Amino acid sequence: MGNYKPRKRLEASQYIEGVLNRDRVLLSRAITIVESNLASDKKLAKDIIQAILPKSGNSVRIGITGVPGVGKSTFIEVFGKHLIEKGHKVAILSIDPSSQRSKGSILGDKTRMEELANREEAYIRPSASGDTLGGVANKTGETMLLCEAAGFDVILIETVGVGQSETAVHGMTDFFLLLMLSGAGDELQGIKKGIMEMADMLVINKADGDNIKKSQLAKRQYENALHIFPKSESGWSPVVSTASALKNIGIPEVWEQIMAFKNLVQENGYFEKNRKDQQIQWMYNNIHENLKQLFYGSDHIADHLKTLEQEVLNAEISPVKAAERIIQEFKSIL
Ligand code: GDP
């Protein structure tokens, strides 16, 4: 990485035109700029995003999660192909804050979604790596806007169903799909109750062969479990279905449910409202991140914090008073 030299950049207008003309190469290069941490690229990225913003938004944004091995990539491959057959253009993005550690994102593996990857109507982009969750979410969010401006009308955002990244994906999508397995307890699947609560649809995958009966039983159990959750603001009651991504069973039904959801929330106004709320939330998330960086990134503050910590430990100052003092200090250096 030490010798990494970024490729020569074009003018903002060339990327903008390229994206709007649905040029895949320029779309990819624009995404690279959005993902870059170079100061000069950040300025370029802002100009590009600002310009394409009015052309974004015209898509169904779907979050897909589930523990590793549940069949996400197999599902996305058949689901994506189904959508293409129906005339859609599908972009597949991922949020994977672990991608730096694992040296390759959940979508980085070339063997995943092989057929889909070769389709003109599909665009697959792995998660940006080496960032905080907030950073990855920002980049995926802006990548989504670029893909929409380039004419992709279904956006699938994949994440591994084990951590906080679900909240980030939920915060930028219209519909949240949770893939599950039958016969494994929720604890075993690492699925937290909070994630189930976010789901608009639960798909019990691998409902094939010996697994069919168990899957149907699991379906009923999850249906019962979902009843006790408070009703969502969207007015939609989450649905449970069984599917086999491997055998291509139950896949069109998932899209039918998503369309039923979309019709409902477009009619009752929730679709628009949710998107607007998400925009505002995105702004605040960034403000919080930037404030934190400004504060903790200051050497002066860091020095003072060390002293204050000691004073708190020695009971010379109360924690509340210490916090107040450091904030005063911060204000004075701004
Ligand atoms: P991911 O880690 O969630 O992306 O899961 P993969 O899509 O890589 O699938 C993990 C394994 O489960 C692979 O061996 C798949 O072939 C298998 N698999 C995926 N979907 C199904 C299914 O519907 N039925 C069966 N029997 N196996 C499946």
Residues 119 and 16 in one domain: no
Give the angle subtended at the CA of 144 by the CAs of 163 and 195, to the nearest 5°: 25
The pLDDT of residue 191 is above 70: no
Say if ligand 1 is within 6 A of residue 131 CB.
no
How many domains are contained in the chain? Answer: 3
Q: How confident is the model at residue 132 (pLDDT cuts 50, 70, 90)?
A: confident
Residue 286 is assigned to a structural domain of this protein: no
Question: Would you say the CB of residue 149 lies under 6 angstroms from ligand 1?
Answer: no
Q: Say whether both 236 and 304 belong to one domain.
A: no
CATH of residue 29: 1.20.5
Which atom of ligand 1 sits closest to the CA of residue 68? Answer: 2
Does the beta carbon of 105 sit less than 6 angstroms from any atom of ligand 1?
A: no
166 closest CA partner among 205, 147, 131, 140: 140
Determine the residue of 70, 74, 253 to mutate for testing ligand 1's pocket, defined as the one with the most ligand atoms within 8 A of the Cβ atom: 74
Supply φ then ψ for residue 80, to 5 degrees: -60, -40
Residue 226 lies in a domain: yes
Rounded CA gap, 171 and 191, in Å? 18
Cα–Cα distances in Å, from 275 out to 18, 92, 165, 265, 266?
Answer: 26, 19, 19, 11, 11
Q: Residue 198 in contact with residue 234, Cβ under 8 Å?
A: no
Q: Is the CB of 66 under 6 A from ligand 1?
A: yes
- pLDDT attached to residue 104: 46
Cβ-proximal residues to 75 (8 Å cutoff; 6+ apart), any chain: 64, 179, 203, 205, 243, 245, 251
- Predicted model pTM: 0.90
Domain co-membership, 324 together with 203:
no
Amino acid residing at 137: A
pLDDT at 232: 85
Please indicate, yes or no, whether residues 49 and 81 belong to a single structural domain of this protein.
Answer: no
Distance of CA 33 to the CA centre of its chain: 19
Residue 108 in this model has a pLDDT that exceeds 70: no
Q: Identify whether residues 49 and 69 lie together within a single domain.
A: no
Per-residue pLDDT at 103 exceeds 50: no
The per-residue pLDDT for range 48-88, each reduced to its tens digit, is: 999 999 999 999 999 999 988 899 999 999 999 999 999 99
205 lines ligand 1 (CB under 6 A): yes
Q: For ligand 1, is residue 73 a contact (CB within 6 Å)? A: yes
Residue 291 falls within a domain, yes or no? no
Residues 111 and 243 in one domain: yes
Average pLDDT for the chain: 89
Helices (H) and strands (E) in the chain, counts: 14, 7
Looking at the structure, do residues 67 and 153 belong to the same domain, yes or no?
Answer: yes
Of the candidates 158, 217, 164, 152, the residue with the CA atom closest to the CA atom of residue 194? 164
Same domain, 67 and 125: yes
- Cβ–ligand 1 distance for 207 under 6 Å, the answer no
195 close to 164: Cβ distance less than 8 angstroms? no
Q: What is the per-residue DSSP string for 127-153?
A: PP-SS-HHHHHHHHHHHHHHHHHTT--
User: Higher pLDDT residue, 163 or 19?
Assistant: 19
CATH number of residue 202's parent domain: 3.40.50.300
Ligand 1 neighbour 244 (Cβ under 6 A): yes
Whether the per-residue pLDDT at 172 is higher than 80: the answer is yes
Which backbone phi and psi does 217 adopt, to 5 degrees?
-65, -45
Give yes or no: residues 127 and 222 share one domain: yes
Whether 122 and 224 map to the same domain: the answer is yes
Q: Clarify whether residues 184 and 199 are in a common domain.
A: yes
Containing domain of residue 306, as a range? 298-333
125 lines ligand 1 (CB under 6 A): no
How many angstroms separate the CA atoms of 92 and 107, rounded?
A: 9
Contacting residues for 264 by C-beta, under 8 A, at least 6 apart: 234, 235, 236, 270
Instruction: Say whether both 17 and 62 belong to one domain.
Output: no
Which tokens belong to 73? 């990539």
Q: Indicate whether 175 belongs to any domain.
A: yes
Confidence of residue 148 (pLDDT cuts 50, 70, 90): very high
Q: What's the gap in Å between 161 CA and the centre of ligand 1?
A: 15
Q: Which atom of ligand 1 is nearest to the CA of 249?
A: 23
Question: Do the Cβ atoms of 165 and 64 come closer than 8 Å?
Answer: no
For residue 204, tell me if it sits in a domain: yes
